Amino acid sequence: MSIGWLIFIAVVLIIIVLFQVTRTLDLVSQLRGNDDEREEHNSKVNGIALFIFMVLGVYAYFWCFGHFKNSNLPPASEHGYLIEDMILWTLIVCSIVFIICNILLFTFSLIYRYKKGRETVHFAHSNKLEFIWTIIPTIVLTGLVIFGLQAWTKIMSMPDEDTFTVEVTGQQFFWTTRYPGADGKLGARDYNLICPDNPLGIITKEFVEHRINLLQGNAKLDVKGEIKVLEERKEILPGLIDSIQQLIEMRQNRYRSEDLKDELDELEDELDDIDSHIITRVKNLDRINTIYTPEYFVSHQDEITWGYDDFMPSEMHVPVNEEVLLKIQALDVLHNFYIVHMKVKMDAVPGMPTFFKFTPITTTAEMREVYSKNPLWQQPKEGDETKTPKWKNFQYEIACAELCGTGHSAMKYILVVDTEAEYEEWVTTQKPAWNNVVGNLKIEGLSELAPKLKSVEPVATDSINLVTDTSTIASKGN
């Protein structure tokens, strides 16, 4: 019990009181005047009210533009100005229509409100009028379409091949960007190779090997799983089947002896689930084995070597006034890469890269200047001990604009627009992602990788840390 309920009770009471009052009023009015008088009275009151409502509404309409002007976004990209222009023109056209139509609507309601014996006309139809108001919107809309499509084509046209490209990947619930490194080329990727050490699935021999090890190790750890589907996998997962069988029997016996029906059912469900996870992994292994034949590494040498120097920074940096092409991807569900001030917005779709190009024209530092004059950015951030005004810490923020699950609103990422010099310097501080992981990979016999791929043998699991992977399984088991 608290204010919530109190409000609820108050509302109910108000409704009851209102009702009693109105009922009495209605009864009184029915006793008094005749239908016509009542109708006239109601129409007058409501007609005047409609008119006042309209006048206040039109006033509020313009008032809002002033009131909210500080929360508008200063555009920071080249095409942002195109969009601003379009919005402005459309706003002008639409405001005229909106205001005129509403004024007529509410004014007519007042002027022609019910009066006994008022003359009405039987005006059913006029070719001329109807022609006019079909043609005018058509012309105006045609103008807007032409204007709009020009902008659209410009925004969406694909830039030259050698445009500076940054790869963006969305997943629950964060963004990763990947830069091409010194060679200017992004290495190839494969979702089959993704693992905690290789979050984007960059293809290198070592990562292929590593993934295989992980998968086998995983499969071995999933000893709780079911059997039948795995029968045929005996060669690649020896020993697995027996232990699963034992485990299941143990648990089943216990549940039976204690007559725990629910638990028995649950066990069944759990087995189904674990089963499907094992199949997923086995299939993953299969695909890797099919794709990464020794010939593959020969014929794809270039794409693979490009990958070694790619880097994945914790913030996205771009130089000002240079066109950037975003190659946008998603790993799991749809996301949408939304750089708020840049007016960049494009879905990230699993299995289908999308593209968006933009040219930032305001550096982060310049934008701080802009915001230093904005009253909404003068306060310090809540809980900020140093009391720095917000504009001093302004950052271009990147959000997700396509519902992607529980953490949708938490997919914040930062874009920093540097000057050319700042950017160059920043690049030199970035380490290739490969550097960070290569030490973690405990792989023997890299050189013999190729032959091993065809006949995989189980690898001792203790050399690989599987905590992340198994914990996800456990959490999904419920």
Partner 1 sequence: MSLETTVHEHQHVETHVHGHEHHDEHHHKETFITKYIFSQDHKTISKQFLITGIIWAVIGGLLSVLFRIQLGFPDANIMWLKPLLGKWITAEGQLAPEFYNALITMHGTILVFFVLTAGLSGTFANYLIPLMCGARDMASGFLNMLSYWFFFLSSIVMGISFFLATGPASGGWTAYPPLNDLHQAATGSIAGVDYWLVSMALFIVSVLLGGLNYVTTVINMRTKGMKMFRLPLPVWALLLTAVIGILSFPVLLSAAVLMLFDRNLDTSFYLDQIYIGGEALANSGGSPILYQHLFWFLGHPEVYIIILPAMGIVSEVLAVHSRKPIFGYTAMIYSLLAITVLSFIVWAHHMFMTGMNPFIGSIFVIFTLIIAVPSAVKVFNWITTLWKGNIRLNPQMLFAIGFVSMFISGGVTGIFLGNSAIDVELHDTYFIVAHFHLVMGVAAFFGMFAGIYHWFPKMFGRFMNPTLGFIHFWGTIICAYLIFFPMHFEYMLPRRYPTHAGFETFGMFGELNQFISVFAFISFACQLIFVFNFFYSIWYGRKARELNPWGATTLEWTTPLRPKHGNWPGEIPEVHRWAYDYSKHGRDFIPQTEPLSQYEIEHGEHGDEGDSAIIQKEKKDDH
| Contacts to partner 1 from residues 277-316, by CB under 8 A | 277, 279-281, 283-284, 287
Residue 6 CB-half CA count within 13 A: 3
Query: Which one of partner 1, Cu ion, none interacts with residue 62, CB within 5 to 8 A by kind?
Result: none
Query: Which one of partner 1, Cu ion, none interacts with residue 163, CB within 5 to 8 A by kind?
Result: none
Applying the rule CB under 8 A, the residues between 403 and 432 that interact with partner 1 are 403-410, 412
Applying the rule CB under 8 A, the residues between 168 and 187 that interact with partner 1 are 171-172
Exposed/middle/buried for residue 253 (C-beta within 10 Å: 0-12, 13-18, 19+): exposed
End-to-end alpha-carbon separation of the chain, Å?
A: 34
Q: Which residues contact 257 (CB under 8 A, 6 or more apart)?
A: none
Q: Is 59 in the site for partner 1 (CB under 8 A)?
A: no
Among residues 180, 173, 208, the alpha carbon closest in space to that of 308 is found at 180
DSSP H stretches of helix in 222-317: 240-257, 261-291, 294-299, 301-307
The interface region with Cu ion, picked from 111-119, 231-239, 328-336, 449-457 by CB under 5 A, is 328-336
The interface region with partner 1, picked from 202-210, 307-315, 318-326, 388-396 by CB under 8 A, is 388-396
Q: What are phi and psi of 335, to 5 degrees?
A: -135, 175
CB of 65 to partner 1, least distance (A): 8
CB of 27 to partner 1, least distance (A): 9
Instruction: Say how far residue 305 (Cα) sits from the centre of its chain.
Output: 32
Question: Site map for partner 1, 458-477, x if CB under 8 A?
Answer: ----------xx--xx--x-
Per CB under 8 A, the list member of 4, 383, 439, 445 interacting with partner 1 is 4
The residue (of 79 and 335) whose beta carbon lies closer to Cu ion is: 335
In which region does residue 387 sit, left (phi positive, over 0), alpha (psi from -120 to 50) or beta (all else)? Answer: left
Per CB under 8 A, the list member of 11, 13, 52, 446 interacting with partner 1 is 11
Q: Is 144 in the site for partner 1 (CB under 8 A)?
A: yes
CB of 412 to partner 1, least distance (A): 5
Per CB under 8 A, the list member of 256, 381, 392, 442 interacting with partner 1 is 381
Exposed/middle/buried for residue 302 (C-beta within 10 Å: 0-12, 13-18, 19+): exposed
CB of 460 to partner 1, least distance (A): 21
The residue (of 246 and 280) whose beta carbon lies closer to partner 1 is: 280
Residue whose token pair is 């092409």? 325
CB of 67 to Cu ion, least distance (A): 30
CB of 338 to Cu ion, least distance (A): 9
The helix/strand/coil state of 30 is helix
By CB under 8 A, how many residues form the interface with partner 1?
A: 140
Q: Is 378 in the site for partner 1 (CB under 8 A)?
A: no
The residue (of 170 and 313) whose beta carbon lies closer to Cu ion is: 170
Residue whose token pair is 């299941």? 248
Per CB under 5 A, the list member of 82, 215, 324, 404 interacting with Cu ion is 404
Question: What is the per-residue burial (b if ≥16 Cβ within 10 Å, else e) of 398-435?
Answer: bbbbbebeeebeebebebbbbeeebbeebbeebebbbe
The interface region with Cu ion, picked from 110-118, 308-316, 394-402, 442-450 by CB under 5 A, is 394-402
Applying the rule CB under 8 A, the residues between 90 and 129 that interact with partner 1 are 90-91, 93-95, 97-98, 101-102, 104-106, 108-109, 112-115, 118-126, 129
Report the alpha-carbon angle 76-80-84, nearest 5.
120
Q: What are phi and psi of 96, to 5 degrees?
A: -60, -50
Per CB under 8 A, the list member of 187, 201, 307, 313 interacting with partner 1 is 201
Cα separation values, 31 from 27, 89, 115, 441, Å? 6, 56, 20, 92
Q: Is 400 in the site for Cu ion (CB under 5 A)?
A: yes
Complete DSSP assignment for 312-348: --SSEEEETTS-EEEEEEESSS-EEEEETTTTEEEEE
What's at 455, amino acid-wise?
S
Residue whose token pair is 């009405």? 120
Q: Is 408 in the site for Cu ion (CB under 5 A)?
A: yes
Query: Which one of Cu ion, partner 1, none interacts with residue 334, CB within 5 to 8 A by kind?
Result: partner 1
Question: Site map for Cu ion, 329-348, x if CB under 5 A?
Answer: ------x-------------
Q: Is 351 in the site for partner 1 (CB under 8 A)?
A: yes
Q: Is 202 in the site for Cu ion (CB under 5 A)?
A: no
Contacting residues toward Cu ion, per CB under 5 A: 335, 400, 404, 408
